[in-house]
Amino acid sequence: MKALSLAKLPELFSLVASKEALYIPADDGAGSARFTRYTEGLEMTDKLNTVRSAKDFFFPQTENLVDFKLKGKEIEISDPRTEHEDFVLFGVRACDARSFQILDKVFLVDPVDTYYQSRREHGTVVTLACTKPEETCFCSVFGIDAAAPEGDARCFIEGETVYFEALTGKGEAFLETVSPLLTDSDDSAVKAQQEKTREILQKLPLKNLSLEGFGAENLLKLFDSEKWAELSESCLGCGTCTFVCPTCQCYDIRDFDTGNGVKRFRCWDSCMYSDFTKMAHGNPRVSQLERFRQRFMHKLVYFPANNDGEYGCVGCGRCLAKCPISMNIVKVAKALEGEVR
Amino acid sequence: MNAETLIPKLGVVTDIRIDTPDVKTFRVVGLDGKKVFEHMPGQCAMLSIPGVGEAMFSITSSPTNTEFMEFSIKKCGCLTSWLHAMDVGQQITIRGPYGNHFPVEDALKGKDLLFIAGGIGLAPLRSVINYVRDNRQNYGKIEIVYGSRSKDDLVDYKEILDEWMQDDGITVHLTIDQPQEGWDGHVGFVPNYVKELQPDLSYTVLMCGPPIMIKFTLAGLKELGFQETQVYTTMELRMKCGVGKCGRCNIGSKYVCKDGPVFRFDQLDELPSEY
């Protein structure tokens, strides 16, 4: 394990930023945290998590896919991409780190999404262990250990020291970059911190959420549950849950006529929206009930059915904090418990 | 599969045939004059006019056609209206092929085949029908039941009369919804006509048409003693990516664009009825 004095963290940031792009979670001036490109003087937030997840860095909210030029009846197609820059995403929490693996299961399976793949290849994820998980956190339900996050490298801030540990080749390369600043250290302080954090995790109110029975075997039973009507009744269809969610990955593809050619772009979309499935001849999901049900069925039943039981949720708690009508995946799972027991 | 699946290829429209007042059939080749890609019967392709839109269409020509691909498209929205208004020589973008296909080389081989189509639902089946006609020795009896609102709404009417009806071992039953001057054939809806015809239970059924037709025809077939395992259909849902990632055509644990569009009815029973 490597160590650095906390006071020297800005020096580490400067060193990293001198070689490649660096993003750290920082206060946005309005009381919220977001991943921000590091410039001299930017300080890392002490907030537990960013309002938006870190998925933007691999699956940005909008991105240009293809360019077209139209001339009479002729069309010219070009790939607008240039080589993506290397970047370090620093201070990612355990929940978001897991979400990348879930997104990988969508974008990196055949046929590989090369837009996403390129960003994944160029990005190094340095995670930060949680020490103060909040009441909305339930990552442990998904087997995530907030005290020992996954990632290319991970760090632990304990007292006045930051401890580093590489987990992949990319993580080792990162530590190599900053090695002039690091000293060797034992892991006793980290072990003690992890023990304390795990004690807190054990006391969190949502840690006992059970998802037993949420699988392909109960797909139709859960789909046909009468509970959906009540659960979805107040849903505004605003899509906030999908936009803050680290694992929501549905997207739209649209064209924008710039006046000098057409840019085809993709952008985040939401199954909570009425036009998500709307076709010229009608809409198979006629009301908010069907749209609401789709989102939760996908995360709790359909995705695991296709991915060896892995749920499409990491328990980050963002949807719990942000839903304007206080509906969320925990309430849904609890309400449906009776259907699969 | 093309690694850059979201980046389309260029095609050029070399012929436009007016089938009905709202259906045209477009012939498409690559800029080199050859087929843009090979496909199997039942597969689809994403066609687009940049700046107008991109949408999934079934490939109506048979893979045995070595010269070009054809798409029979009903005018019903923004992109399709644009396609209907264009002229021969227009370039379009095309990517695919997407989805699974009718199991012409395994489960359907050696079988008697009954095709049931309504309206534009003939488009995906035409690919199979012509594939089977070109590989006639591999299949048994062939019967086709096709219905439309009126005589003028029958897609591929000329091909049906001049080619399909002239083939040995193929029986074609046409029907229209309402009596019409100049029509001495059957009048009535497809589901009832199928029941009247009492097809032999030896048939494997391939069906495509409006949801209401599918619903009642399936019920009628079951009454006659057909099993869901011997009835295939092809579905359509809104799609954007075509490769099971954008999330739009998700039904249960399936994605219509890659796990479908062809399903057997016993497979559909395992999915939520959200289509």
> Are A216 and B253 inside 8 Å of each other by CB?
yes
User: What is the mean predicted confidence (pLDDT) over A70-93?
Assistant: 96
Q: Are B173 and B143 in contact (CB under 8 A)?
A: yes
Residue A43 lies in a domain: yes
Tell me: do A223 and A130 sit in the same domain. Answer: no
Question: What percent of the residues of chain B are helix, what percent strand, and what percent coil, each to the nearest 5?
Answer: 25, 30, 45
Q: With CA atoms as reference, report the closest residue to B251 among B236, B231, B229.
A: B236
Predicted confidence band at B117 (pLDDT cuts at 50, 70, 90)? very high
Tell me: do A139 and A184 sit in the same domain. Answer: yes
In percent, how much of chain B has pLDDT > 90? 95
H/E stretch holding A10 reads helix A9-19
Scanning B184-203 for CB atoms below 8 A from A yields: none
- pLDDT for the residue numbered A280: 83
Q: Are B204 and B232 in contact (CB under 8 A)?
A: yes
Q: Does B237 touch chain A (CB under 8 A)?
A: yes
Residue A211 lies in a domain: no
Could you read off the pLDDT of B171-227 as tens digits, one per residue? 999 999 999 999 999 999 999 999 999 999 999 999 999 989 999 999 999 999 999
Residue B248 exposure: Cα atoms within 13 Å on the Cβ side: 24
- Does residue B95 sit in helix, strand or coil? strand
In percent, how much of chain B has pLDDT > 70? 99
- pLDDT for the residue numbered B251: 94
At a CB cut-off of 8 Å and minimum separation 6, what does A276 contact? Answer: A250, A269, A270, A285, A291, B238, B248
Could you read off the pLDDT of A312-340 as tens digits, one per residue? 999 999 999 999 999 999 999 999 988 88
> Are B253 and A114 inside 8 Å of each other by CB?
no
H/E stretch holding A254 reads strand A251-257
Residue with tokens 């990517």: B95
Could you read off the pLDDT of A266-312 as tens digits, one per residue? 999 999 999 999 988 789 999 999 999 999 999 999 999 999 999 99
Min Cα distance A194 → chain B (Å) is 37
Count of other CB atoms within 10 angstroms of residue B62? 23
Q: Does B87 touch chain A (CB under 8 A)?
A: yes
Residue A58: is its pLDDT beyond 60?
yes
Predicted confidence band at B274 (pLDDT cuts at 50, 70, 90)? confident
Domains in chain B (CATH in brackets) are 9-98 (2.40.30.10), 112-234 (3.40.50.80)
Tell me: do A185 and A298 sit in the same domain. Answer: no
Q: Does B8 touch chain A (CB under 8 A)?
A: yes
Tell me: do A220 and A153 sit in the same domain. Answer: no
Mean pLDDT of chain A: 95
- pLDDT for the residue numbered A216: 87
B136, amino acid identity: R
Residue A31: is its pLDDT beyond 90?
no
- Does residue B201 sit in helix, strand or coil? coil
Scanning A243-272 for CB atoms below 8 A from B yields: 249-253, 255, 257, 262, 264, 266, 269, 271
Could you read off the pLDDT of B42-51 as tens digits, one per residue? 999 999 999 9
Residue A15 lies in a domain: yes
Residue B1: is its pLDDT beyond 50?
no
B80, amino acid identity: T
Q: With CA atoms as reference, report the closest residue to B249 among A247, A264, A276, A173.
A: A276
Tell me: do A175 and A143 sit in the same domain. Answer: yes
CA distance A121 to A49: 24
CA distance A238 to A327: 12
> Are A77 and B275 inside 8 Å of each other by CB?
no
> Are A77 and B7 inside 8 Å of each other by CB?
yes
Tell me: do A226 and A152 sit in the same domain. Answer: no
User: What is the mean predicted confidence (pLDDT) over B135-152?
Assistant: 96
Q: With CA atoms as reference, report the closest residue to B122 among B190, B188, B179.
A: B190
In percent, how much of chain A has pLDDT > 90? 93
User: What is the mean predicted confidence (pLDDT) over A95-102?
Assistant: 98
Q: Does A64 touch chain B (CB under 8 A)?
A: no
Tell me: do A236 and A199 sit in the same domain. Answer: no
Residue A14: is its pLDDT beyond 60?
yes
Tell me: do A44 and A141 sit in the same domain. Answer: yes
Q: Which two tokens stand for residue A43?
A: 């300080």
- pLDDT for the residue numbered B3: 59
CA B249 to chain centre: 18
ipTM for the predicted complex comes to 0.92
- pLDDT for the residue numbered A201: 96
Tell me: do A51 and A120 sit in the same domain. Answer: yes
Where is pLDDT greater, at B4 or A249?
Answer: A249
Mean pLDDT of chain B: 95
- Best residue in B12, B243, B250, B271 for a mutation probing chain A (most A CBs within 10 Å): B250
Tell me: do A18 and A156 sit in the same domain. Answer: yes
- pLDDT for the residue numbered A39: 96
- pLDDT for the residue numbered A131: 96
Q: Does A66 touch chain B (CB under 8 A)?
A: yes
Q: How many domains does chain A have?
A: 2
Domain span holding position A162: 2-59+82-203
User: What is the mean predicted confidence (pLDDT) over A147-158?
Assistant: 97
Q: Are A153 and A164 in contact (CB under 8 A)?
A: yes
Residue A64 lies in a domain: no
Residue B2: is its pLDDT beyond 50?
no
